[in-house]
Amino acid sequence: MRIRPYAPADRDAVARVCLLTADAGSDATGVFEDDSLWAEVFALPYVTRHPDLAFVVEDPDGAVVGYVIGTDDTDAFEEWFATEWWPRVAERHPRPEVERTRQDGTLIYAYGRRAGAEPYAGMGYPAHLHIDLLPAAQGQGLGRQLISTLLDALRRRGVAGLHLVASEENQGALAFYDRIGLTRLPSHEGVQAYGVTLS
């Protein structure tokens, strides 16, 4: 397997990997009424705004089996998400009045995204990332390599630090982030945030 820069032709494959890992690292197919919502919130905005900060894992057959995606400026990204990205897709995803399902919770989160909604950018970690690997790509050091590749790209831009947020249900991911030396940050209930200083 090899890591390479994201290409526009990878868009659907990234969406597929997102769906197949979205349920705390497991396949989320059928969890929402609309499977496409996962990628429209957590993956496709990143490869749209920052294709140059996206890297994929390609298996020997040329299939994309993992990725790391991110932004170098969380506040600017969240403002863009709220004002440009989400209005493009929101008509397919009406805002629920109350949270009855996991899909409702994700939609409420998406409608509420904005600059400053999360504190980590202001704590010295202005960049953030999402990383997902299918089971076939796990346990081979590819996750560490993906994160290193993105961190190197951010360092070249002079970015001071990066954060990520993971569900507390995803114990495998939390163990991985601890193992590679990311620092745990104060977090909201149900999630664990991590930070790394780049300068």
The sign of the CA dihedral 13, 106, 101, 26 is positive
pLDDT of residue 181: 86
What is the rounded average pLDDT of the residues 27-31?
95
pTM, rounded to two decimals: 0.92
pLDDT of residue 156: 96
Helices (H), the chain: 11-21, 36-42, 44-49, 74-80, 86-89, 102-112, 142-156, 171-179
* CATH number of the structural domain spanning residue 164: 3.40.630.30
Helix (H) or strand (E) holding 158: none
**Domain interval for residue 191:** 2-197
Question: Given pLDDT bands bounded at 50, 70 and 90, which one contains residue 117?
Answer: confident
What would the pLDDT profile of 43-94 be if each residue is shown by its tens digit? Answer: 999 999 999 999 999 999 999 999 999 999 999 999 999 999 999 999 999 9
Question: Could you give the number of structural domains in the chain?
Answer: 1
Question: Given pLDDT bands bounded at 50, 70 and 90, which one contains residue 185?
Answer: very high
Return the amino acid letter for 169.
E
pLDDT of residue 9: 97
Q: Is the predicted pLDDT of residue 114 greater than 90, yes or no?
A: yes
Q: Is the predicted pLDDT of residue 195 greater than 90, yes or no?
A: yes
Closest CA to 185 of 87, 118, 94, 110: 118
Return the amino acid letter for 45.
P
The sign of the CA dihedral 111, 116, 119, 123 is positive
Report the SS3 class of residue 139: coil
Question: Given pLDDT bands bounded at 50, 70 and 90, which one contains residue 24?
Answer: confident
Among 136-145, 149-158, 186-195, top mean pLDDT goes to: 149-158
Q: Is-contact 164 187, C-beta < 8 A? A: no
Q: What contacts 31, CB < 8 A, 6 or more positions away?
A: 22, 23, 102, 103
Q: Is the predicted pLDDT of residue 170 greater than 90, yes or no?
A: no
